[in-house]
Structure 1
Amino acid sequence: MTTIYISDPIHPDILTDIQAGADVHLGYGPNKVDYLSVSETVDGVILRAENFTREVIEASPRLKIIARHGVGTNNVDIDAATERRVWVTTTPGANSNAVAEHVFALLLTEARKVCTAADRVRVGNWSESKADLIGFELSGRTIGIIGFGAIGKRVAAIAKGFGMRILASDPVATSADASASGADLVELDTLYDGADIITVHAPLLPGTRHMIGARELGMMKNTAVLINTSRGGLIDEDALVAALTEGQIAGAALDVLEAESIDMKDPLAHTRVPLSKVPNLILTPHIAGQTQEAFLEAGTKSWLEVKAVLAGNAPSFPVNSDGLQKLAV
């Protein structure tokens, strides 16, 4: 029987479908298994957060596909997979709307001081000290979108509904792409200087690590809000905490952090500033793509990719097709 390993929770309907026709090992829950304890028997993997290093891939003699339940592949050694003739796939577009909506959940929470207000009510402070709870409206503000792929375009569509002006910056986007979404395509420095809200939707690559640091933060308005729902590491968190505590920018909201793979009990430990000392920073635990709808679509797409490959066919959304084709020559 085919053996499938699933690293993290997926939509229950998809899990039921997989279990009906395969031997399934789960990397989560009360009966979770360590992948390396079953790696010699696994034919396909549906992967979310777990790291698939060269060591892990080379310990998987039957493995034919690593299907990412999402779009990022930072947790997969693509070269090792290609060398072992293992397909790596993604699920483009599956969580685009979910992530875009979370951008606005974070933005509205920051703009209207929702966390602070709700916490006060919870401890019985309904009407006192409202003076510092005056927020701002999105209508008429300028949002700057870094990365104008599927998520960036969806953010633009939502921003348009709020009556916002839209700036976009992306090295591969065209003016026609931006214009179709009601956005102005600009250079990054122009975006940093002109946006009231900046939201990041870029991949984490050697050239994009810490793409927003002290210099870029210094270019932003002191009323600006910075949002990152993309990848931890795109923002220099030491520089960000300094900018927030010194009033260089007004606020930030992050769904992703560099410390995610280190210690989430103290995610800002490396900045030497306790989270309690940064009240204008909102953190959520990498949940932007976690909706029922996104889980269903990502689960469906990743399972279809696994079934296609195990049936001897090419997948629809491969990451390493070029490398595998070269090996086949």
Structure 2
Amino acid sequence: MPFRIGLTRDFLTDDGRIGWGDIGLAALDAADGVEWDFIEAVDGDIPPEAVRGYDALIVLTPRVTADTLKGADRLVLVARFGVGYDNVDVEACTRHGVLVTITPDGVRGPVAVSALTMLLAAAHRLGEKDRLVRAGRWHDKLDYMGTGVTGRTLGLVGWGNIGRELSRLCAPLGMRQLAADPYADPERAAAAGVTLVELDTLLAEADFVMVTCALTPETHHLIDAGRLAGMKPTAYLVNVARGPIVDQAALTEVLTQGRIAGAALDVFEVEPPDPADPLLALDNVLLSPHAVAWTDELALGNGRGAIQAALDVAAGRTPAYPVNPAALDHPRLSSKALR
């Protein structure tokens, strides 16, 4: 019996093309004993009937819920195309013996570069300057001086896969680097020139606050009204992680009142945001539709990582980067004797 892999259909454009370009599908075509196709899931919850008969799923944005797994007797792997897995009920997967994997190697460089891009664009007020030119206000540019980064303080909220790469990229810029992460290795941070501090200290001292932590119950609204009030009035907030880590209503209020200099957001509490959301009308915020890191490099890296996870399981190997290794003890997976 072939090992069947299903990809969620949101990888496709309306005319049937892979919207991401090359995501490494040639490796699936070349694999022996493997069949693959697209399942009928574009957004929302993946229905159980869509996954019956599949051994592995490669998932972009649709949600894998406990109901998705009902009757999925063959399913042993959900491979996320990316590192966020808030659209996957990991506990339900573990109970059902379904391993969940992510692709940190694919996102590390592209997301860190995009985070730095947003930081620099906000610091140089690039969005506002773009609008000046388009509006014929060339000579108003003296009113839109930016903020240099040399000698300024970068505060990283989360110093994991992305945060560490961002530290490396920013090292030549001559910035003082702080990080707030209870799980970070102090020796590794010190070797990278990063000082680990409490979050409130970071917010009080940073000129640029960069959110790079994972969304968990503990980090939901981690940056709330009280913590936003602790930021410098000249500081910028950049979020390339997940929208609900920041209280968006509170952020909108401090931006409206000019209590921080500005923000750059690739993510929102609700995606897509309501077109009437007052945040969208502000001049001191730079916005991207959760796609600032979307490049050919990211697409191929994530695709290769997710596909390799599926091929590993098909070949009886334990894949890299499982987020629920406890699932390996489930009879469904232990019977496969992954090595």
TM-score by length of 2: 0.87
Q: Secondary structure at 2:294's aligned position in 1? A: coil
Deviation digits for residues 120-177 of structure 1, max 9, x if unmatched? Answer: 3234x16221122211111111100111112111111222111111111110113212
Q: Shift of the alpha carbon at 1:268?
A: 6.8
Deviation digits for residues 81-133 of structure 1, max 9, x if unmatched? Answer: 1222111111123211111111121112111111121123234x162211222
User: Closer, same or farther in 2 for the Cα pair 1:274/1:209, shift >3 Å?
Assistant: closer
User: Closer, same or farther in 2 for the Cα pair 1:85/1:137, shift >3 Å?
Assistant: same
| Other-structure match for 1:234 | 245
In 2: Cα distance, 1:35 partner to 1:15 partner: 24
Aligned residues of 1:58 and 1:84 also touching (Cα < 8 A): no
In 2: Cα distance, 1:160 partner to 1:319 partner: 30
**Alignment of 1:100 onto 2:112:** yes
Q: Secondary structure at 2:106's aligned position in 1? A: coil
In 2: Cα distance, 1:213 partner to 1:308 partner: 42
Aligned residues of 1:138 and 1:164 also touching (Cα < 8 A): yes
Tell me the C-alpha RMSD between the 2 structures: 2.2
In 1: Cα distance, 2:23 partner to 2:305 partner: 13
Q: Secondary structure at 1:94's aligned position in 2? A: helix
In 2: Cα distance, 1:27 partner to 1:227 partner: 35
Residue type at the aligned position of 2:284: N
In 1: Cα distance, 2:248 partner to 2:164 partner: 26
| Other-structure match for 2:37 | 24
**Alignment of 1:179 onto 2:179:** no
In 2: Cα distance, 1:62 partner to 1:74 partner: 23
Residue type at the aligned position of 1:42: Y
Q: Shift of the alpha carbon at 1:307?
A: 1.1
Q: Shift of the alpha carbon at 1:313?
A: 2.8
In 2: Cα distance, 1:128 partner to 1:152 partner: 38
Instruction: Give the one of 277, 280, 292 matched to 1:275.
Output: 280
Instruction: Give the one of 285, 303, 306 matched to 1:299.
Output: 303
Aligned residues of 2:179 and 2:197 also touching (Cα < 8 A): yes
Residue type at the aligned position of 2:302: A
**Alignment of 1:112 onto 2:124:** yes
| Other-structure match for 2:149 | 138
What does 1:152-231 correspond to in 2, within 5 Å?
Answer: 152-231=163-242
Residue type at the aligned position of 1:24: D
In 1: Cα distance, 2:256 partner to 2:242 partner: 23
In 2: Cα distance, 1:45 partner to 1:71 partner: 15
Residue type at the aligned position of 1:17: A
User: Closer, same or farther in 2 for the Cα pair 1:93/1:202, shift >3 Å?
Assistant: same
| Other-structure match for 1:12 | 22
169-178 or 205-214: bigger deviation: 169-178
